[in-house]
Amino acid sequence: MLAFVKYGTGSFEAEVRDIAKPEPKDNEVLLSVAGCGVCGSDLHAYRSSKGYEWVIPPVTLGHEFAGTIVATGRSVRHVKEGDRAAVIGIQGCGHCPVCRSGSTNLCLERQVIGLNMDGGMAAYAVVDAAYLVPIPDSLDPVMGALIEPISVAAHAMRKPVIRPGDRVVVSGPGPIGLFCGLFATSSGARVVMVGAEADAETRLPLARRLGFTTVNVNRDALDATLETAFEGSPPDLWVEASGAPQAFITAIEKVRGGGSLVIVGMYAQSFEWSPTPSVRAGHSVFFSYASISRDYHLALDLIAAGFIDPTQFANVYPLGEAEIAFKAALSGKTIKPVLVP
Ligand SMILES: [Zn+2]
Ligand SMILES: [Zn+2]
């Protein structure tokens, strides 16, 4: 079968290969993959970025995927052949105190499918049956690839209280930032989406089509835009999804006293931050990482209710063109590439 394999520890050492079709163990299912999204972390693995040394080649990439179950292991009971499901990408050990508290995404022994075990950029993938979420027939299973990134936004947006009329800024108009913005508008908030020059061609235009006020910090005045959009009042909530240190610093400066920040970006470098202004402002700062089962269900609810249309975000590529899709993603020309076997 075809698979996109990270085969070496060097930058860009990944290619489409013909590999053996896997077989499910007792607790696993074999999934015929319908579509698999390309995530920022896949791009880091592709480039062998610093901080991704735990990705041990050879490994089939991809953790954002859905498909149809075509075989089940002996001890699998709750799903059967023909069922369609999305995959929960991060798998905790299941028995440590963190997992028992429900946060399997934060387990110190966690495994990430498609990074430290074979993932979904392939015709077939084996998945632990405990980490499947059934998807309805009304959803195109190719678009099921979007459920994981939507669930990451769902997880982040559960943390702050958002009321109708709240003023919300999101920095970083990638898929997670855009989905966070849609979660905020679904709660009745007004949203300003902040991007930079790299977002000007594809991401900010989509943000405008989704109904957000947008700012390109390299071209537009941020303060003036916020002033107009929020009628002179400071933001109640800032969602930092860009991973740019300056965006984090700006967020802390702008949020009103008693307001909240959600930090969901990944920062490539460390930087200086004085917490004292936030202490004095009584800010609530929530850090959020990945998602758990209930967030996948919330993502499906938001799609079913029409708040999120996955087709607006997906750029579909055949699996054989994985390298083209990765390069397009690296150059910012796509929102969410989805590889279809
Ligand atoms: Zn992802
Ligand atoms: Zn655990």
Residues 123 and 26 in one domain: yes
Q: How far is the CA of 254 from the centre of ligand 2 (A)?
A: 37
Residues 203 and 310 in one domain: no
Q: Which ligand neighbours the alpha carbon of 102 most closely?
A: 2
pLDDT in tens, 273-315: 999 999 999 999 999 999 999 999 999 999 999 999 999 999 9
Residues 13 and 57 in one domain: yes
Domain boundary among the residues 287, 308, 323 is at 287
Q: Catalytic annotation on 187?
A: no
Residues 271 and 202 in one domain: yes
Residues 6 and 128 in one domain: yes
* CATH number of the domain bearing residue 328: 3.90.180.10
Q: Which ligand neighbours the alpha carbon of 62 most closely?
A: 1
Q: Quick one: how far is CA 227 from the chain centroid?
A: 30
Residues 26 and 145 in one domain: yes
Could you give the number of structural domains in the chain? 2
The residues pairing with 66 across neighbouring beta strands, listed in sequence order, are 35, 86
pLDDT in tens, 212-259: 999 999 999 999 999 999 999 999 999 999 999 999 999 999 999 999
Q: How far is the CA of 41 from the centre of ligand 1 (A)?
A: 6
Q: How far is the CA of 35 from the centre of ligand 1 (A)?
A: 13
pTM of the model: 0.95
Q: How far is the CA of 292 from the centre of ligand 2 (A)?
A: 13
Residues 13 and 52 in one domain: yes
* CATH number of the domain bearing residue 247: 3.40.50.720
Domain boundary among the residues 242, 264, 287 is at 287
Q: Which ligand neighbours the alpha carbon of 87 most closely?
A: 1
Write the CB contacts of 92 (distance below 8 Å, at least 6 apart in sequence).
98, 99, 103, 104, 105, 106, 107, 109, 110
Residues 246 and 210 in one domain: yes
3-state SS class at 191? strand
- Residue-level pLDDT at 51: 83
Residues 174 and 142 in one domain: no
Residues 7 and 137 in one domain: yes
Q: How far is the CA of 98 from the centre of ligand 2 (A)?
A: 6
Q: How far is the CA of 99 from the centre of ligand 2 (A)?
A: 4
Residues of the chain with pLDDT under 50: none
Q: How far is the CA of 27 from the centre of ligand 1 (A)?
A: 24
Q: Which ligand neighbours the alpha carbon of 43 most closely?
A: 1
Domain boundary among the residues 260, 287, 314 is at 287
Q: Catalytic annotation on 44?
A: yes
Q: How far is the CA of 338 from the centre of ligand 1 (A)?
A: 12
Residue 202: give the domain boundaries: 160-287
**Count of residues making up the chain:** 341
The residue annotated as part of the active site, out of 32, 44, 103, 187, is: 44
Token code pair at residue 229: 């959009």
Residues 140 and 183 in one domain: no
Between the alpha carbon of residue 185 and those of residues 164, 210, 260, the distances in Å are 8, 10, 16
Residues 87 and 122 in one domain: yes
- Chain mean pLDDT for the chain: 96
The residue annotated as part of the active site, out of 11, 32, 41, 138, is: 41
Q: Which ligand neighbours the alpha carbon of 336 most closely?
A: 1
